[in-house]
Chains A and B, each alone.
Chain A
Amino acid sequence: EAGVTQFPSHSVIEKGQTVTLRCDPISGHDNLYWYRRVMGKEIKFLLHFVKESKQDESGMPNNRFLAERTGGTYSTLKVQPAELEDSGVYFCASSQDSQSYGYTFGSGTRLTVV
C-alpha cells in the first residue's frame, strides 16, 4: 500500500510569491489533515477534510492560506502571498476514520520563504 505522498519535498520562494503544496493520501482514506511546524516550535494542526468537505479549519493562520480537496482525493495547500513567517515544514496525514489513532503522516514539505 502506498503511503501519504507530499510534493514537493522542498520549496524555496521569495516573499510575495505563491506556492502550492500537494498531498496524496492513502487510497480510501476519507480524512485528510494538514499540520505545520514553524522553526523551533511545535507541530500545529491547520485543518481537516472529510472527503471534499472542510470539517475544521480552525488552525489556518490567516486568509493567505487556501486548502482544497477537489473530488475528495488529493489536497492542495496554497500560500498567497507568502511571508517570511510561513517558512517551516508542512505535514499532511490521512486516516480512514476521524480518529487521532489512525493517522499516517507524509514526509512533509519544507518551505523556505526568503
Chain B
Amino acid sequence: AQSVTQLDSQVPVFEEAPVELRCNYSSSVSVYLFWYVQYPNQGLQLLLKYLSGSTLVKGINGFEAEFNKSQTSFHLRKPSVHISDTAEYFCAVSDHDDYKLSFGAGTTVTVRA
C-alpha cells in the first residue's frame, strides 16, 4: 500500500500571494498522482492529475503541480491565491492499474485579505 505525506497541515496565506503545498509518496513503482480539493461543505473535487508524460501538470483554477520521480514528490502550486481558494487540499496516489487511492492527511489553506 502507498504512503502519502502532506508536510503541512495548515497553510495560512495572504490574498494574491503564492502558495505551495508539499506532497511526498512512498512507492518505487509507477504511480498515478492526484490533487483533490474540498471546499467548505462540499465534496471532493479533482484539481489535477498526473498519469504520464510531461511532469508539469496544469489543473483547474490556476493550480499546477510538478511530478518529481527521483524525489517521489508531487507539490502543488498557485502563483496568486484568492479568498475563494480557502479549502482543504488532499494529495492522493495509486499504483498503475489499481483502482484504490491512498490519500494524505490533507492541508488546510486559509487565504486572508
With CB as the reference atom, state the residue of chain A lying closest to B36. Answer: A105
User: Within the assembled complex, what's the spacing in Å between the Cα atoms of A40 and B10?
Assistant: 12
Given contacts A42-B4, A42-B103, A105-B43, contact A100 B98 (CB under 8 A): yes
A:63-114 near B, CB below 8 Å? 91, 93, 95, 98-101, 103, 105-108
Tell me, yes or no, whether B42 is within 8 Å of chain A by CB. Answer: yes
Given contacts A105-B45, A107-B42, A107-B43, contact A98 B103 (CB under 8 A): no
Decide: A98 and B99 in contact? CB cutoff 8 A.
Answer: yes
Given contacts A105-B44, A105-B45, A107-B42, contact A48 B99 (CB under 8 A): yes
User: Within the assembled complex, what's the spacing in Å between the Cα atoms of A100 and B50?
Assistant: 11
Range, interface on chain B: 20 to 34
User: What residues of B have a CB within 8 angstroms of the CB of A12 in the complex?
Assistant: none
With CB as the reference atom, state the residue of chain B lying closest to A59. Answer: B100
User: What residues of A have a CB within 8 angstroms of the CB of B34 in the complex?
Assistant: 100-101
User: What residues of A have a CB within 8 angstroms of the CB of B4 in the complex?
Assistant: 42
Decide: A103 and B100 in contact? CB cutoff 8 A.
Answer: no
Given contacts A42-B4, A42-B105, A43-B90, contact A100 B43 (CB under 8 A): no
16 contacts between A and B (CB under 8 A): A4-B43, A40-B105, A42-B102, A42-B106, A43-B90, A43-B106, A45-B100, A48-B99, A56-B99, A56-B100, A91-B44, A95-B99, A100-B100, A105-B36, A105-B45, A108-B44
List chain B positions with a Cβ less than 8 A from chain A. Answer: 4, 32, 34, 36, 42-46, 49, 51, 90, 92, 94, 97-106
